[in-house]
Amino acid sequence: MRKALVAGNWKMNGSSDSNKHLLEGIIKESASFSSVDVALFPPSVYLQQVQEALVSTELAWGTQNLSQFEKGAYTGEISAPMLNDFGCSYVLIGHSERRCLYAEIGLDQLILDYIIAEKYAVAIQAGITPIICIGESPEEHEQGKTEEVIARLVDIVIAQNGVQALSQAVLAYEPVWAIGTGKSATPEWAQEVHSFMRERIYKHDPETAESIQILYGGSVKGDNAAPLFSMPDIDGGLIGGASLDADEFVKICQAAVSY
């Protein structure tokens, strides 16, 4: 049986004051979702604040991105050893908002998939669990290319690092058309895609396919979380907007308890 994981991606939001309030609100209720893995992803300038608040709790934390390089002249980037310095257990890799930004400077999606596979390997080597985000754009969705987009990244990750490495990772299906739009995928649609991802891994290694947590992300709120999490291949959520509100985020974590 897989454990549920709920991850809160704060994106570029927060301040020292609002973080304090948010962290207190989540920690206060954490006994009500103690059977669920929960991780928070603040902007990295607030890592120390989050680490100090969570270090004596069961909650984990991580960053929203990671460089594939260990150190050097990479202005604005953060390395795996730096994440280790701040006790990060997780890192988000390949979020569509990062992809879009890089696509703007001319990188093709296939090259990006290779870079994501490199970042994933760096995280695993550093003992940090990567949450690899995958999802189709609105155009790809309309063209019926969902499975093609997902298969491409899953296959590259497996080819570059071997299927066993996936047993130390988490996958997140985040359809770009559902992110921040208020239009979540239906539980049935998400289940179909998650099942496709699991089957793709199953062909290489049934054990890893059974054990890997696959999260859904895209407009998850307190009131639509339970039907999503009740699907057999949805093992929790990657939450954006709703992770900035303690009550709403707690509701989502509680919905994962009986999943």
Asked if 180 touches ligand 13P (CB under 6 A), the answer is yes
Asked if 191 touches ligand 13P (CB under 6 A), the answer is no
Nearer to ligand 13P, 218 or 236 (CB): 218
- List binders of ligand 13P among 12-71 (CB under 6 A): none
DSSP 45: G
- List binders of ligand 13P among 200-239 (CB under 6 A): 217-220, 238-239
Nearer to ligand 13P, 102 or 202 (CB): 102
Structure tokens, 256:
């994962």
Q: Which residues contact 40 (CB under 8 A, 6 or more apart)?
A: 7, 8, 10, 23, 26, 50, 54, 59, 60, 61, 62, 243
Cβ neighbours around 156 below 10 Å, total: 18
Binding ligand 13P by CB under 6 A: which of 6, 38, 149, 179? 179
Structure tokens, 92:
């988000």
Dist CA 59 CA 76 (whole Å): 27
CA-wise closest residue to 91 among 113, 55, 52, 119: 119
Binding mask 145-174 for ligand 13P (x = CB under 6 A): -----------------------------x
Q: How far is the CB of 170 from ligand 13P (least distance, A)?
A: 12
Dist CA 54 CA 60 (whole Å): 7
Residue nearest to ligand 13P (CB): 240
Q: How far is the CB of 217 from ligand 13P (least distance, A)?
A: 4
Q: How far is the CB of 241 from ligand 13P (least distance, A)?
A: 3
Overall size of the chain counted in residues:
259
Which window, 75-83, 153-161, 190-198, 240-248, contacts ligand 13P (CB under 6 A)?
A: 240-248
Structure tokens, 51:
């680490």
Dist CA 170 CA 58 (whole Å): 18
Helix (H) or strand (E) holding 83: helix 80-85
Query: Which of the residues are catalytic?
Result: 95, 174
Nearer to ligand 13P, 23 or 94 (CB): 94
Residues near ligand 13P, by CB under 6 A = 9, 95, 174, 179-180, 217-220, 238-242
